[in-house]
Chain A
């Protein structure tokens, strides 16, 4: 049985700019590093969540994108707790894997950092979002060459149809060196925009 699902809100962060539901809301200097961009956004939003600064860039990007999305969605806290999360990317945790590799390359200077090592798994970003919002719903993380709207749609629909979660946080969060791209959207039975794999692909391509 196929249900017609809706998109509650969607958010895109790339090239040091943020758009929410297709409208540009923040644009920063393109020469800023991602770390400096993320720090500026954190401070401007007065997030007061010191653990943010311990996160790697992938988690910071996922965290910030979800902050904008949940703020826009204005969901009841009980719904948020049961929200499912289905995220994906191309580079997995490669950005942090390289940093970890740098700390263990030299046998005579072998000091792996525990704080770096804990982020050498891409689905940690789901954990960080879950901790922040006390989410205990189902989650999944996929690695694919490019944003796979069909896979995400199948998985999100399945979670809703099987009553695992009423709301699903979906998307693509990718960081590789200086390149980053985050696109997240919240899907449920009620929402402001129609949802299909074609629609989400269009939104992703055009934003």
Chain B
């Protein structure tokens, strides 16, 4: 699980162009949206694409996305359970 969390942090930094962040700057339970990393709606769409492309998970329910993208911890747990690749 720790390897997946690290991989997720690296992907988030790279794919969302969070130039001022390193893996160490993101705590497992940091809020991804709002006051945490300050991600926006386009970032949310980008994360949905990332789930599909890298882990074979298709998120179609917006409410499900809200629950899944709370933090790296929650996201990693969800991916571990639902990934198809």
Contacts and interface: CB of A to CB of B under 8 A. Distances in A.
B69 to A, nearest CB: 14
Nearest to A103: B49
Interface residues of B, number: 14
Main secondary structure of the interface of B (DSSP, over half): helix
Contact of A50 (B15, B20, B45, B53): B20
B34 to A, nearest CB: 15
B52 A111 contact: yes
B74 to A, nearest CB: 21
Interface string A93-136: 00000000000000000011111001000000000000000000
Interface string B2-34: 000000000000011111100000000000000
Q: Chain A interface residue count: which class? A: 10 to 19
B18 A50 contact: yes
Nearest to A116: B46
B45 to A, nearest CB: 4
B53 A54 contact: no
Contacts of B19: 39, 50, 53
Contacts of B18: 50, 53
B17 A54 contact: yes
Interface of B: 15-20, 38, 42-43, 45-46, 49, 52-53
9 contacts: A53-B18, A54-B17, A111-B53, A113-B49, A114-B49, A115-B15, A115-B17, A115-B43, A118-B42
